[in-house]
Structure 1
Amino acid sequence: SPGTAAMSEQPAAGEEALDTSLHGSGVAGLLQSVQQLLVQILQTSRQQQALLESLASDTVSHLHLLSHSLVQVGETLHQLLLRPQTHLGPLGHYIPHMPLFEGGSGVMCSPSAPHTSPDHKEESQMSPATGCTLP
Structure 2
Amino acid sequence: MAESWASSPEARARMQSNKSRDTKPELALRSAVHSLGLRYRVDARPLQALRRRADLVFPRAKVAVFLDGCFWHGCPVHHTVAAANASFWAEKVSTNRARDSDTDAKLAEAGWVSVRVWEHEDPVEAAERVRAVVHERRA
Q: Same fold by TM-score, threshold 0.5 exceeded?
A: no
Q: Which has the higher strand share?
A: 2
Radius of gyration: which is bigger?
A: 1
Q: Normalising to structure 1: TM-score of the pair?
A: 0.31
Which of 1 and 2 has higher RCO (CA within 8 Å, sep 6+)? 2
Q: Which has the higher helix share?
A: 1
